[in-house]
Structure 1
Amino acid sequence: MSTDTPSSPAPDHGEGPESDPAVDRRGLVILPTYNEIDSIAGIISAVLARDSRLSVLVVDDASPDGTGALVDSIAAEERRVHALHREGKSGLGSAYVAGFRWALERDFDLIFEMDADGSHDPRYLSDMIAATAAFDVVVGSRYTAGVNVINWPMSRLLLSYYANRYARFVTGLRLADSTSGFKCFTRPVLEALDLDAVGSTGYTFQIEMNFRAWKKGFRIGEVPIVFTDRVAGRSKMSGAIVREAVWRVWALRLRSLLGRL
């Protein structure tokens, strides 16, 4: 598999469900949740309406606000909705890994990461599906076409922008938005990666997954998106997450140089 320089296929948001016939494969959208009861039903509905080939897996970390119970009630009425309940809050990275394993066991072809808070617009799923004709990993990028972020305070925007510059400098990964949490993996990528070895728990997880896929020779591309700050709930960003990002990118590079990635 080649390591082509990422590019951005022209967006084609289409006119409605199944508007992008480029890839006729089953997809699973993984939505990690912790206290997302105000937004989860709307996000699930919007994803399902986008494309009949898509299903949803909600990975809920025992949300005390009842998110898990609400998803169970939706799943009881809709066969394309599934819930994976975990005993406690164990981190974003482990939630996605659990979702990846679930998807691989059930033979899904395209596996998506997506936030459950409304910041990722399901209309871009069509662009990402189309882009898998050229790429093995597709990243929904906030920074390929300028800066496309709405409603973030300047401090948060600068943190995100320069974190991506930092990650690119340290790892050599040629992505404008390596920290994006809106992405699609084709099945062969997740089958090839050692998911047990993925150590990041916070948002560095996104960098690590991209880096591991790139080092395996998979093609990574970006499609432009507009990111809108969450419409409900509270951000999970913390100082600990930032500190993890600072040192873990160096650890990834060192492991790669030593052949231990």
Structure 2
Amino acid sequence: MRSVLVLPTYNESENIEPFLRAVREASPDTDIVVVDDNSPDGTGLVADRLAEELGRIDVLHRPGKAGLGSAYRAGFNEVLGGSYDIVISMDADFSHDPNLIPDFVQLVIDGADIVIGSRYVTGGGTTDWPVRRQLLSRWGNAYTRSILGVAARDCTSGYRAYRATSLAKIDPTSTSAEGYAFLTELVRRMTREGASVVETPIIFRDRTRGKSKMSGRIIVESMLLVTRWGMGDRFKRLVGRN
């Protein structure tokens, strides 16, 4: 089964070269599509150079920063409908361990439609996070799971592998969410389609180079959107009963 990694980047010049080399070493048969939002620090140019050196790397240059969801939509649009069987997503800052890619691929081969690298199943966790951030993340995921009625314990994890046909079925290019709500939107849609969701434990490591894109505004917007989805779903169910 052919696999491809879709990798959104913005100002990751300190990480992109060692990261791409680590991915190629960990999973030599996985192609890579870098989606760069015209990073001012030259991330896209570094990726271009590595593409020439390593091969089987395409770099999609976008005109400017448009959000995580927009970047993934563009990347998925590039790879779905082609010859790939498995689509992988992850962060480019080494928060996610590239050495686990073959394990994710194998879980899809074994039957999963979506594999989520989960911090909140047995064996998973985070490092270098203050207690406040850990509690906020756990509460946010528990709230999301409850209001949306999904089984996944880590709806906002970006380390994933999708069966390409199952991802195409929900048409991710038709989504509208940005930030980490986009990741939740995919879980919600795939769950509603009856997809097989498998969570595998990961240890999330905070970045050591570069600046995090997470902000309080992104968290608030994500929670508001999740609440709107949840209330809308419940209203539709009530209407359907009458």
Normalised by the size of structure 1, how large is the TM-score?
Answer: 0.86
Return the match for 2:150 from 154, 173, 181.
Answer: 173
Q: Structure 2 CA distance, aligned partners of 1:188 and 1:251?
A: 28
Deviation at 1:47, TM superposition (A): 0.9
SS of the aligned residue for 2:80 comes to helix
Does 1:223 pair with 2:200? yes
Return the match for 2:172 from 195, 213, 218.
Answer: 195
Is this contact kept in 2: 1:61–1:89, CA < 8 A? yes
Deviation at 1:105, TM superposition (A): 4.4
Counterpart residue type for residue 37 of structure 2: D
Q: What residue in structure 2 maps to residue 82 of structure 1?
A: 58
Deviation at 1:152, TM superposition (A): 1.3
Q: Structure 2 CA distance, aligned partners of 1:83 and 1:96?
A: 13
Q: What residue in structure 1 maps to residue 28 of structure 2?
A: 52
Return the match for 1:211 from 170, 180, 188.
Answer: 188
Does 1:103 pair with 2:82? no
Q: Structure 1 CA distance, aligned partners of 2:65 and 2:198?
A: 31
Deviation at 1:146, TM superposition (A): 5.5
Counterpart residue type for residue 32 of structure 1: P
Is this contact kept in 2: 1:127–1:223, CA < 8 A? no
Is this contact kept in 1: 2:34–2:58, CA < 8 A? yes
Aligned residues: 235
Is this contact kept in 1: 2:7–2:91, CA < 8 A? yes
Q: Structure 2 CA distance, aligned partners of 1:195 and 1:130?
A: 23
Does 1:160 pair with 2:143? no
Does 1:36 pair with 2:8? no
Q: Structure 1 CA distance, aligned partners of 2:86 and 2:197?
A: 14
Deviation at 1:194, TM superposition (A): 2.7
Is this contact kept in 1: 2:123–2:202, CA < 8 A? no
Q: What residue in structure 2 maps to residue 234 of structure 1?
A: 211
Counterpart residue type for residue 112 of structure 2: F
Deviation at 1:226, TM superposition (A): 0.9
Q: What residue in structure 1 maps to residue 160 of structure 2?
A: 183
Normalised by the size of structure 2, how large is the TM-score?
Answer: 0.92
Q: Structure 2 CA distance, aligned partners of 1:110 and 1:126?
A: 11
Does 1:112 pair with 2:88? yes
Q: Structure 2 CA distance, aligned partners of 1:162 and 1:52?
A: 37
Structure 1's unaligned 5+ residue stretches are 1-24
Deviation at 1:76, TM superposition (A): 1.5
Superposition pairs of residues 108-147 of structure 1, within 5 angstroms: 108-132=84-108, 133-145=110-122
Counterpart residue type for residue 219 of structure 1: S
Is this contact kept in 1: 2:120–2:154, CA < 8 A? yes
Q: Structure 1 CA distance, aligned partners of 2:158 and 2:35?
A: 15
Is this contact kept in 2: 1:150–1:228, CA < 8 A? yes
Is this contact kept in 1: 2:44–2:59, CA < 8 A? yes
Structure 2's unaligned 5+ residue stretches are 238-242
SS of the aligned residue for 2:116 comes to strand
Q: Structure 1 CA distance, aligned partners of 2:54 and 2:173?
A: 32
Deviation at 1:63, TM superposition (A): 0.3
Q: Structure 1 CA distance, aligned partners of 2:89 and 2:139?
A: 22
Q: Structure 1 CA distance, aligned partners of 2:174 and 2:80?
A: 17
Q: Structure 2 CA distance, aligned partners of 1:228 and 1:234?
A: 14
Q: What residue in structure 1 maps to residue 240 of structure 2?
A: none
Is this contact kept in 1: 2:6–2:34, CA < 8 A? yes
SS of the aligned residue for 2:200 comes to strand
Counterpart residue type for residue 103 of structure 2: D
Q: Structure 2 CA distance, aligned partners of 1:54 and 1:146?
A: 26
Q: Superposition RMSD on alpha carbons, in Å? A: 1.5
Q: Against the structure 1 CA distance between its residues 250 and 48, is the aligned structure 2 distance closer, same or farther, given a 3 Å change threshold?
A: same
What do residues 68-92 of structure 1 show as CA deviations (whole Å, max 9, x unaligned)? 0010111122221110111110000
Is this contact kept in 2: 1:92–1:202, CA < 8 A? yes
Counterpart residue type for residue 204 of structure 2: F
SS of the aligned residue for 1:201 comes to coil
